[in-house]
Amino acid sequence: MKIYLPLLLVFLSACHKPAAQTTTPETSQTAVVQPVYITDTVRHDTDDPAIWINPSDPAKSLVIGTDKDQDGGLYVFNLQGKIVKEIHDLKRPNNVDIAYGLTLGGKPTDIAVTTERFTHKLRIFSLPDMQPVDNGGLEMFVGDTSAGFRDLMGIALYKTASGVMYAMVGRKSGPTDGTYIGQYRLEDNGNGQVKATLVRKFGMYSGKKEIESIAVDNELGYVYYSDEGVGVRKYYADPAKGNQELALFAKTGFSEDHEGISIYKTGPKTGYILVSDQGANQFHIFRREGEAGNPNDYKLLKVVKVAAQVSDGSDVTNVPLGKQFPHGLFVTMSEGKTFHYYRWEDIAGKDLK
């Protein structure tokens, strides 16, 4: 759903006002942004959320979050953070993403896709009913026998303007020769279930830590992923455009791991990229469109401290979700087996336009 909104630079309460402004964007604000809601707790360990927009009533949208454990699952939350459904018995689901309108059984179907690390499979569920549509799971990186090369981590879904849908899949470890990410085409297998076909492998990997967070900008056609401890790497999402790396940014100023990547859209080609600085409980924000004259140049705009602790995965939308989130919702994982919900305007503050 493409809804573009102007940013309204409003703080809703005094507790969200930043400290005295500085002229250096690299300096974090001292105020800690507080969430509107903290979700119910999961059984084991939260890791990554994804927002599903209800097309009939956005105020009834849902957040799907992973519970990362060998006996883990997916949790479905409402916009007040209450659990409304649970899917158990997944073998260490790491990340989750959502896409709209995959044709299954002749009908457009919204899907939630999660990586199941210990089985090396993608698990796919229809939305909002969360029914499996994957025939028990889709095996990834078949034939890669090195240790960790099939242990799935990150996932991001990409849908082209013509309606072709792809899954960008990362793993716990992998080759450093530019073939770290697997891109799979998702489509109906003829029986109303999803099948996956490997299209390409691409993407550099430093070998320093791991790659978990992946995000796709459907409209601009880019895929980003966090090479932890190194920076954020950028490639074309369309396999026909080649495998060259377009940018490596966010290389400095992070206290520990680069983690969750989220894209907030203010127009067809404008907005912000938010990257989790996990060890510092904050997010670094860059222009979605890059700098003037160079779409692959990303300068730091702002650092936002949040109440969420050691944040891993995150998601954001610009769609108004009722009275509590009139300019969109930012969701991030936090220690304590929860996810935190933030108003976009509280994240934007007075600095972003």
For 209-234, the pLDDT digits (tens) are: 999 999 999 999 999 999 999 999 99
Residue 9 lies in a domain: no
Residue 205 lies in a domain: yes
Residue 99 lies in a domain: yes
What is each CA distance from 24 to 39, 204, 289, in whole angstroms? Answer: 34, 31, 21
Q: What is the pLDDT of residues 276-320, one digit of tens each?
A: 999 999 999 999 999 999 999 999 999 999 999 999 999 999 999
Domain extent, residue 44, equals: 14-348
Q: Give the Cα separation of 170 and 153 in Å (integer).
A: 5
In the prediction, which pLDDT does 351 show?
86
Q: What is the pLDDT of residues 144-174, one digit of tens each?
A: 988 889 999 999 999 999 999 999 999 999 9
DSSP of 190-217: SSSSEEEEEEEEEB---SSS-EEEEEEE
Residue 286 lies in a domain: yes
In the prediction, which pLDDT does 17 show?
36
Domain count, the chain: 1
Q: Give the Cα separation of 18 and 353 in Å (integer).
A: 16
Residue 181 lies in a domain: yes
Write out the two tokens for 236.
């074309």
Asked whether 327 and 343 are in contact (CB, 8 A), the reply is yes
Q: What is the pLDDT of residues 56-68, one digit of tens each?
A: 999 999 999 999 9
Share of the chain above pLDDT 90, in %: 89
Q: What is the pLDDT of residues 46-96, one digit of tens each?
A: 999 999 999 999 999 999 999 999 999 999 999 999 999 999 999 999 999
